[in-house]
Structure 1
């Protein structure tokens, strides 16, 4: 199923690679050479996008992965992608993680491991946190494909939606199709952060006609379901005398809707077993 993040990649990465490089590198932007094959050799996986660029006479590949939610295996997957792209392109590879929200960010780089007495691997990668970017700086304001991302900026309020919508609609460099796609991205990201009621009627009309509106509604329903189940288990834990750490609700939410539903059902049908599992989840270290 196509998601809004596929749309972001198509319009932002594939349609405007120079603007994406501006977001990643700022004033030290390398020259864009070409798009590279995003399929990975000897693997069924596909990278989000791979660009070949050149800076200071050195040509290298940039592997860009967009993360919308936390993935405990992200660093391992990125390492795998980096090695595969390096072997195919015969170029150095700069791996870049683009995090859409703070919740999407996992363990910071570098990733590595050691055996007794020796450090075997240290793998570093670049991180771009979209909520930390200042989208009002002149260089980025001129990059029309980046405008929808501006609603993710932590300092931006709901008024940013109207500003971004106006800029997209007035961008003469965009085709009708590109403008519509960027408005859909804007509507999806804005409604996720500020709620659907903050969208203009024009933007709501565009969203309703897009395949992403139902996706957005389903995400809202899923978030509500998770919150409700977390609260039920929170109450259950108190009733059973299970210690609740300060981040108990966050730990429970990370289980996901399906696991939470099973645990709530178990709390009714087999409370002793549910209490033991809940105690184990809340006692885990490293969250």
Structure 2
């Protein structure tokens, strides 16, 4: 999943922190106190969300990271962020990892650093898998800021997008700008989950005027090439797991278009390139500021 989805999801969780707490903790959610600076001391990186919260017995910080694809460097980055937030805020920190799609799985707590066979540092953290969340439960239905995320529920069909759009448009507590922001996020995630063709005419009109439309079109082209390569693999009798399509999408349009074109001219070479793409990890963006 490209930067477009990271951007809209980060925007969503930062705009509705109290609703995010319901997603993470349900009815036992701590009280939102304030949003802390997401920039990290002595670093060019930014966390996705840093929230100071409290319960009846303690005050602590939630350091929230969104993961939309597998990242071999993620665990070390999470440790780095956690320590930096703790040193700046002077409070205990609970790291939270929100996995957007199953392809991001692989982030499993705890993170343990060992030396000479002995654990010398252990970082535990909370993991939320959005595709497993039941967004129809009452505690979440009343959180309008979470409605766009409901289309990521693995049990939801395309009709969930219609339901979410209607709920957002009916939410009288939202300002016009807040409503528009949520509809843009809904349109982005609906396009990602079900395809651009599944957008309602009204949602499509909103999206075509947004800064994300060109990226959505590019993503649609990338998905087309990925699906074509999955079909190519099947016709050659190759066993490819279903999640391979998302792995291919992460490679980007240019790389997939080259293999797709090669499939028509040199199928054997295309098969070899396809295997190489499936076996290699996602692009390394560890040096890119977040």
Asked whether the two chains share a fold, i.e. TM above 0.5, the reply is yes
CA–CA distance in structure 2, aligned partners of residues 183 and 280 of structure 1: 34
Cα shift readout 1:154-181 (whole Å, capped 9, x = no counterpart): 1111111111111000000000011111
Question: Displacement, 1:122?
Answer: 2.1
Aligned match of 1:55: 55
Q: TM-score, normalised by structure 1?
A: 0.82
Aligned match of 2:111: 111
Matches within 5 A, 1:93-104: 93-104=93-104
CA–CA distance in structure 1, aligned partners of residues 215 and 250 of structure 2: 21
Kept in 2, the 8 Å contact 1:52–1:62? The answer is yes
Kept in 1, the 8 Å contact 2:228–2:260? The answer is no
Question: Displacement, 1:214?
Answer: 1.4
Matches within 5 A, 1:217-236: 217-228=217-228
Segments of 5+ residues of structure 1 without an aligned counterpart are 239-243
Task: Go from structure 1 to structure 2 and tell me whether the alpha carbon gap of 1:261 and 1:33 turns closer, same or farther (over 3 Å shift).
Answer: same
Aligned match of 1:253: 248
SS of aligned partner of 1:3: helix
Task: Go from structure 1 to structure 2 and tell me whether the alpha carbon gap of 1:275 and 1:165 turns closer, same or farther (over 3 Å shift).
Answer: closer
SS of aligned partner of 1:140: helix
Kept in 1, the 8 Å contact 2:66–2:97? The answer is yes
**Cα root mean square deviation, aligned:** 3.3
Aligned match of 1:131: 131
Deviates more, 1:87-96 or 1:226-235: 226-235
The yes-or-no answer on 1:140 pairing with 2:140 is yes
> Aligned pairs, how many?
275
Kept in 2, the 8 Å contact 1:98–1:130? The answer is yes
Question: Displacement, 1:153?
Answer: 0.9
Question: Displacement, 1:248?
Answer: 10
Question: Displacement, 1:62?
Answer: 0.4
Deviates more, 1:121-130 or 1:105-114: 105-114
Kept in 2, the 8 Å contact 1:131–1:153? The answer is yes
Deviates more, 1:252-261 or 1:105-114: 252-261
Q: TM-score, normalised by structure 2?
A: 0.81
The yes-or-no answer on 1:9 pairing with 2:10 is yes
Kept in 2, the 8 Å contact 1:49–1:64? The answer is yes
Aligned match of 2:84: 84
Cα shift readout 1:37-64 (whole Å, capped 9, x = no counterpart): 1111111111111001112321111001
Aligned match of 1:200: 200
Segments of 5+ residues of structure 2 without an aligned counterpart are 282-290
